[in-house]
């Protein structure tokens, strides 16, 4: 069973890793077998020099999927058209089958937080955010997916759960979901909800991709640092997703204290093992 769907451009990509600077040398010297690389759009939007060279070299041998951190679907100000135009130019270069960014906000009056701030789970936020997701999708002429974020606060004004909010926004915008299993785990610990119940409530037919990563334990909360191996509870949640969804596009993120490339690939290999095991056990159902 493949999870290729209209939200990921009907792509079945396998297991990829996030492209990070410390790995450039290894990748371009050894050209390792990797199903796909995910790039952070904003790191390549200047379109010149070394980043452009890296991107063009990468595209010679690998599939590239774009993931962004600055669209801020939930922010209240109008989009910066120049930013959207640059994003569209990058989309044309990479040929990404879909584009993902976060279900969050992050700017006020043109000032940027460079953080992924959680939205209040209100009807107003659903309506506002869905409209902005549609605006981006129509401008880029590309499937757009929203990723659930890790959070450290919940708002007194929220009237629904996070998973209900994700469901309502994705349906109102008719967009895909990038399901970050690590973020579900982090938020479940920080807010005391049942992570498995969250996954049960997610409309799986909208899931285009899954993210995996490792957080940091700060004692009174988990911080989404992407600087550790994927912890066991996240693997367990990932298995739950795969058992329900099949061969979902999966991406391992490692953004800080980045180990050698082989170590990151070994961690990604665990996801491949899980996907293969499900494929062997469940393949007869197809």
Partner 1 sequence: MTENSDRSHSLEEIQDFVFESLRLPPGTEIPADRASSFVEPSEALTASQRLSIYNQQYWYRLIDSLEEDFSGLRFVLGGRRFKELLLAYLTEQGSRSHMLRDLGAKMGDFVESNPELVEPYYDLALDMARFEWAQMIAYDEESLGTLDPAGIDPDAIGELRVRLQPYMTLLSLGYPLDDFSIALNKKRTRQSQESALVRNETTDDEPPGEPPAPETVYLAVHRYNNKIYYKRLEQGEFQVLSALGRGQALSLALAEAESEQIVQSWFASWMRLGWLCPL
Task: Tell me the two tokens of residue 199.
Answer: 């996954």
CA 29 from centroid of its chain's CA atoms = 27
Count the Cβ atoms, other than its own, within 10 Å of residue 270.
16
Residue whose CB is less far from partner 1, 45 or 91: 45
* The only residue of 24, 28, 139, 152 in contact with partner 1, by rule CB under 8 A: 152
Structural contact between residues 189 and 221, judged by C-beta atoms closer than 8 angstroms: yes
* The only residue of 6, 155, 236, 277 in contact with partner 1, by rule CB under 8 A: 155
Residue 193 lies near partner 1 (rule: CB under 8 A) = no
Residue 27, phi-psi category: left (phi > 0), alpha (psi -120 to 50), beta (remainder): alpha
* The only residue of 33, 48, 81, 286 in contact with partner 1, by rule CB under 8 A: 48
Structural contact between residues 266 and 254, judged by C-beta atoms closer than 8 angstroms: no
> If 0-12 CB within 10 Å is exposed, 13-18 middle and 19+ buried, where does residue 69 land?
middle
* The only residue of 22, 25, 47, 61 in contact with partner 1, by rule CB under 8 A: 47
Q: How far is the CB of 189 from partner 1 (least distance, A)?
A: 10
Of residues 164, 9, 33, the one with CA closest to residue 100: 9
Instruction: State the virtual CA torsion across 66, 182, 201, 136 in degrees, nearest 10.
Output: -20
State the binding string over 109-148 for partner 1 (x if CB under 8 A, else -).
-xxxxxx-x-xx-xxxx--x--------------------
Radius of gyration of the chain (CA): 18
Of residues 199-238, which lie at the interface with partner 1 (CB under 8 A)?
A: 220-221, 223
Q: How far is the CB of 9 from partner 1 (least distance, A)?
A: 24
Binders of partner 1: how many residues, by CB under 8 A? 46
Phi, psi of 118 (to 5 degrees): -70, 150
* The only residue of 26, 191, 228, 279 in contact with partner 1, by rule CB under 8 A: 191
Q: How far is the CB of 228 from partner 1 (least distance, A)?
A: 17
Residue whose CB is less far from partner 1, 115 or 205: 115
Query: How far is residue 173's CA from residue 178's CA, in Å, rounded to a whole number?
Result: 14
State the binding string over 67-106 for partner 1 (x if CB under 8 A, else -).
---x---xxx---x--x---------------------x-
Binding site for partner 1 (CB under 8 A): 42-43, 45-53, 70, 74-76, 80, 83, 105, 108, 110-115, 117, 119-120, 122-125, 128, 152-157, 159, 190-192, 220-221, 223
């Amino acid at each position: 069973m493949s999870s290729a769907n209209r939200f990921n451009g009907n792509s079945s990509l396998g297991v990829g890793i996030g492209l990070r600077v410390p790995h450039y040398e290894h990748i371009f010297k050894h050209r390792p077998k990797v199903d796909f690389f995910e790039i952070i759009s904003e790191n390549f939007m200047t379109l010149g020099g070394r980043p452009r060279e890296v991107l063009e070299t990468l595209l010679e041998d690998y599939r590239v999927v774009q993931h962004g951190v600055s669209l801020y679907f939930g922010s209240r100000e109008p989009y910066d058209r120049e930013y959207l135009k640059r994003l569209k130019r990058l989309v044309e270069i990479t040929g990404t089958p879909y584009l993902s960014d976060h279900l969050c906000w992050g700017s006020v009056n043109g000032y940027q937080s460079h953080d992924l701030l959680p939205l209040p789970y209100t009807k107003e936020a659903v309506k506002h955010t869905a409209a902005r997701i549609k605006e981006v999708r129509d401008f880029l002429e590309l499937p757009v997916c929203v990723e659930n974020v890790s959070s450290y606060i919940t708002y007194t004004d929220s009237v629904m759960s996070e998973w209900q909010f994700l469901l309502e926004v994705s349906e109102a915008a008719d967009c895909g979901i990038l399901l970050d299993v690590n973020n579900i785990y982090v938020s479940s610990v920080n807010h005391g909800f049942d992570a498995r119940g969250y996954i049960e409530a997610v409309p799986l037919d909208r899931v285009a991709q899954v993210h995996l990563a490792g957080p940091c334990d700060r004692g009174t909360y988990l911080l989404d640092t992407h600087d550790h191996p994927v912890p066991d509870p996240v693997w367990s949640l990932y298995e739950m997703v795969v058992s329900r969804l099949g061969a979902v596009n999966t991406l391992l993120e490692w953004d800080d204290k980045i180990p050698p490339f082989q170590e990151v690939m070994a961690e990604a290999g665990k996801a491949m093992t899980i996907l293969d095991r499900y494929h062997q056990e469940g393949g007869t159902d197809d």
